[in-house]
Amino acid sequence: MRASLALSCCAILAACAVPPAAQDASGPTTSQDAPALSAAAAPAGPQAPSVQGTYAIATGKGGTRLAVSQDGRLIFVADHAANTVSVIDARRRRAVATIRGGGEMDRSADGGGRGVWDVAPSSNGRLIYVSAMRDRLVSIVDLSTRRMIGQIRVGTLPSDMLLNRNDRRLYVIDAAENALRVVDTARRHVIGSPVPLGASVTAPGAAPQPAATRVRSAGLGLSPDGRRLYATDRAGGALVVIDPDKRAVLARVPVGPNPVSIVVARDTGAVYVLDDAGVVAVDTNAEPANVRRVLQCPAGALNALADGRDGRYLLAVASQSNRVFVIDRHSGRIGGQAATGARPRDARASGGTVYTVDGDAASVSAIPGPPDATRAWPAADDALGCRPA
């Protein structure tokens, strides 16, 4: 089982693997003099129009997740293949530092994944938390010095992360165990037992799962009042509702196959989930929870979902066609599209710009937007076969 786990991790990396960055004995290092990129439009995918003013910002090849500091000044890009985090100055549109993932790479056969997967910035802008799959840990980096100041051992395959409102708790998906780990950030240790999201995919006797769901990450979201935590059970096709204080599962809501991303509306608390069939809206306040499909898509057409502007609309990433779409969260109508770099994997909106991490292009696309009444993105004529449900 351990051998198969390692093999499945390799399959995940096939599309973006490059030789990992060399590690030195002193731990994380930074590169302060990354060159600025000219104001060139990001490469367009098939029939994908570029938005005028789009920039491509050089990072590493193998980017998986990105995050934006609360003040919008810094963009953080997790690079799974190079085991690094790129720090981008949003105003200058250039990478200003490259932070190593931390720790010596554990290259044992049962080590799980390889390198950094996600990055979570603290609300005060002082720290970032970096999950490293193979190292089985979360590193803590001081942004003033861009040096690692601590490490927390977290499960078997720590992947996606989410900080709560006061930064006291860090929620971490253990992709190998299909479970949630809760970290006390002040004491820097894991609290209690893992919260199961579904059947463990590595436990003895577990039913065989496709590689795509066996060691992949899961979506995370928090209700506006912080009293409910949401996570996806990809193998089980469900949204899991969790009491974060009691670390207990409150409900499992069937959604669709292979749910991967979550966006929580800040005004209504509705939960939007991206699965292989499109997007569903879940009202967890109803009893039982009300599930309504908003957008119907061919299997696997969309790959990631993000908040557009305070939850007023959604951003959906399409890796196969190098595009990002705008979706009206109520009607499911696709309101526009923009070209990205090759193989976008994640998106964020901040300060009038939409950012996508483009793994195969080794860059981040900075796209003018989000669209509003005075500035629209080009129409999405084909929309990959997606339509309002």
Give every CB contact of residue 373 below 8 A, 6+ residues apart in sequence. Answer: none
On average, the pLDDT of the chain sits at: 81
pLDDT, tens digit, 9 for 90 and up, residues 80-106: 888 889 999 999 999 999 988 654 444
pLDDT, tens digit, 9 for 90 and up, residues 212-266: 334 456 899 999 999 999 999 999 999 999 999 999 999 999 999 999 999 999 8
**Beta strand pairing call for 238-243 and 248-254:** antiparallel
Cβ–Cβ under 8 Å, residues 275 and 309: no
Domain 2-388 class, CATH top level = mainly beta
Residue 384: helix, strand or coil by DSSP? helix
- What is the per-residue DSSP string for 171-222? EEEETTTTEEEEEETTTTEEEEEEEE-SS-SSSTTPPP--HHHHS----EEE
pLDDT, tens digit, 9 for 90 and up, residues 17-51: 333 333 333 333 333 333 333 333 334 334 556 78
- pTM here is 0.83
Cβ neighbours of 375 (radius 10 Å): 12
Higher pLDDT among residues 290 and 204, named by residue:
290
